[in-house]
Protein backbone atom coordinates (compact mmCIF):
# COMPACT_ATOMS: atom_id res chain seq x y z
CA UNK A 1 0.00 0.00 0.00
CA UNK A 2 1.18 3.47 -0.79
CA UNK A 3 0.51 4.96 2.61
CA UNK A 4 2.90 5.69 5.36
CA UNK A 5 3.52 2.93 7.89
CA UNK A 6 3.42 4.42 11.38
CA UNK A 7 6.00 3.19 13.87
CA UNK A 8 4.64 1.25 16.88
CA UNK A 9 6.56 3.75 19.04
CA UNK A 10 4.15 6.48 17.94
CA UNK A 11 1.19 4.20 18.73
CA UNK A 12 2.50 3.53 22.22
CA UNK A 13 3.20 7.25 22.79
CA UNK A 14 -0.36 8.13 21.69
CA UNK A 15 -1.72 5.33 23.89
CA UNK A 16 0.16 6.66 26.95
CA UNK A 17 -0.96 10.23 26.20
CA UNK A 18 -4.59 9.01 26.03
CA UNK A 19 -4.25 7.30 29.42
CA UNK A 20 -2.67 10.42 30.97
CA UNK A 21 -5.45 12.64 29.59
CA UNK A 22 -8.08 10.23 30.96
CA UNK A 23 -6.51 10.52 34.42
CA UNK A 24 -6.26 14.27 33.98
CA UNK A 25 -9.92 14.72 33.02
CA UNK A 26 -10.95 12.72 36.09
CA UNK A 27 -8.56 14.55 38.44
CA UNK A 28 -9.59 18.00 37.23
CA UNK A 29 -13.29 17.08 37.58
CA UNK A 30 -12.69 16.75 41.34
CA UNK A 31 -11.36 20.32 41.62
CA UNK A 32 -13.84 23.18 41.64
CA UNK A 33 -12.98 25.49 38.74
CA UNK A 34 -16.47 26.91 38.38
CA UNK A 35 -17.45 27.41 34.74
CA UNK A 36 -14.01 26.19 33.63
CA UNK A 37 -14.81 22.59 34.65
CA UNK A 38 -16.90 21.68 31.59
CA UNK A 39 -14.55 23.70 29.36
CA UNK A 40 -11.49 21.73 30.53
CA UNK A 41 -13.38 18.43 30.08
CA UNK A 42 -14.29 19.42 26.50
CA UNK A 43 -10.76 20.56 25.62
CA UNK A 44 -9.26 17.30 26.96
CA UNK A 45 -11.83 15.18 25.07
CA UNK A 46 -11.01 17.17 21.91
CA UNK A 47 -7.27 16.57 22.31
CA UNK A 48 -7.90 12.85 22.90
CA UNK A 49 -10.17 12.60 19.84
CA UNK A 50 -7.61 14.44 17.73
CA UNK A 51 -4.83 12.05 18.81
CA UNK A 52 -6.97 9.02 17.90
CA UNK A 53 -8.05 10.54 14.56
CA UNK A 54 -4.58 11.72 13.47
CA UNK A 55 -2.49 8.73 14.54
CA UNK A 56 -4.63 5.62 15.21
CA UNK A 57 -6.86 6.42 12.23
CA UNK A 58 -3.88 7.56 10.09
CA UNK A 59 -5.62 10.76 9.03
CA UNK A 60 -2.33 12.65 9.33
CA UNK A 61 -1.12 10.50 6.40
CA UNK A 62 -4.42 10.34 4.49
CA UNK A 63 -5.28 12.00 1.16
CA UNK A 64 -6.67 15.54 1.18
CA UNK A 65 -10.07 14.28 0.04
CA UNK A 66 -10.41 12.21 3.23
CA UNK A 67 -9.35 15.15 5.40
CA UNK A 68 -11.91 17.46 3.77
CA UNK A 69 -14.62 14.81 4.28
CA UNK A 70 -13.84 14.54 7.99
CA UNK A 71 -13.65 18.31 8.48
CA UNK A 72 -17.03 18.72 6.73
CA UNK A 73 -18.51 16.09 9.07
CA UNK A 74 -17.38 17.97 12.18
CA UNK A 75 -18.40 21.28 10.58
CA UNK A 76 -22.00 20.07 10.32
CA UNK A 77 -21.86 18.60 13.82
CA UNK A 78 -20.82 22.03 15.14
CA UNK A 79 -23.73 23.63 13.23
CA UNK A 80 -26.12 21.11 14.80
CA UNK A 81 -24.85 21.62 18.35
CA UNK A 82 -23.98 25.31 18.05
CA UNK A 83 -27.21 26.57 16.52
CA UNK A 84 -29.36 24.40 18.80
CA UNK A 85 -27.57 25.66 21.90
CA UNK A 86 -27.57 29.34 20.89
CA UNK A 87 -31.35 28.98 20.63
CA UNK A 88 -31.79 27.47 24.09
CA UNK A 89 -29.20 29.68 25.81
CA UNK A 90 -30.86 32.83 24.44
CA UNK A 91 -34.27 31.88 25.86
CA UNK A 92 -34.61 33.93 29.05
CA UNK A 93 -37.19 31.56 30.56
CA UNK A 94 -35.08 28.43 30.05
CA UNK A 95 -32.14 27.09 32.04
CA UNK A 96 -31.76 25.58 35.49
CA UNK A 97 -31.43 29.04 37.10
CA UNK A 98 -34.09 31.06 35.31
CA UNK A 99 -33.05 34.45 36.69
CA UNK A 100 -34.93 36.41 34.07
CA UNK A 101 -38.13 34.48 34.76
CA UNK A 102 -37.79 35.18 38.50
CA UNK A 103 -37.33 38.91 38.04
CA UNK A 104 -40.16 39.04 35.55
CA UNK A 105 -42.63 37.32 37.86
CA UNK A 106 -43.45 40.24 40.23
CA UNK A 107 -44.21 42.53 37.33
CA UNK A 108 -47.19 40.49 36.24
Partner 1 sequence: MSDSQTAVHVLKHHFRDMEQQNETAGFGMWLFLVTEIMFFGGLFCAYLIYRYLYFDSFAAASSTIDVKWGAINTAVLICSSLTMAMAVHSAALGKRKALVAFLVLTIILGSMFLGIKAKEYYDKFEENHVPGPNYHFIVEPEMTQHFHAIDQAKTEIFFSLYFIMTGLHATHMVVGFGLLVWLIIASMKGKFSPGYYSPVEMVGLYWHFVDIVWIWLFPLLYLISRHH
Binding-site member from 88, 90, 107, 108 for partner 1 (CB under 8 A): 88
Question: Does 108 contact partner 1 by CB under 8 A?
Answer: no
Options 9, 32, 99, 108; binder of partner 1; rule CB under 8 A: 32
Judged by CB under 8 A, the residue of 39, 85, 100, 101 near partner 1 is: 85
CB 40 within 8 A of CB 28: yes
Residue of 9, 35, 39, 52 interacting with partner 1 (CB under 8 A): 52
Query: Residue 106 Cβ, how far from partner 1 at the closest point, in Å?
Result: 20
CA angle 16, 23, 32 (to 5 degrees): 150
Tell me if residue 93 falls in helix, strand or coil: coil
Strand, coil or helix: 20: helix
CA angle 60, 61, 66 (to 5 degrees): 80
Q: Are 29 and 37 in contact (CB under 8 A)?
A: yes
**How many residues does this entry show for the chain?**
108
Provide the binding-site residues for partner 1, judged by CB under 8 A.
Answer: 1-3, 5-6, 8, 11-12, 14-15, 18-19, 22, 25-26, 29-33, 37, 41-42, 44-45, 48-49, 52-53, 55-58, 62-63, 65-66, 69-70, 72-74, 76-77, 80-81, 84-85, 88-89, 94-97
Amino acid sequence: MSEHIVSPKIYVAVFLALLVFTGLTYGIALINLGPLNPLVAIVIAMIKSLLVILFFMHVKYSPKMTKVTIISGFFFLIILLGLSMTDYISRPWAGSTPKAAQTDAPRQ
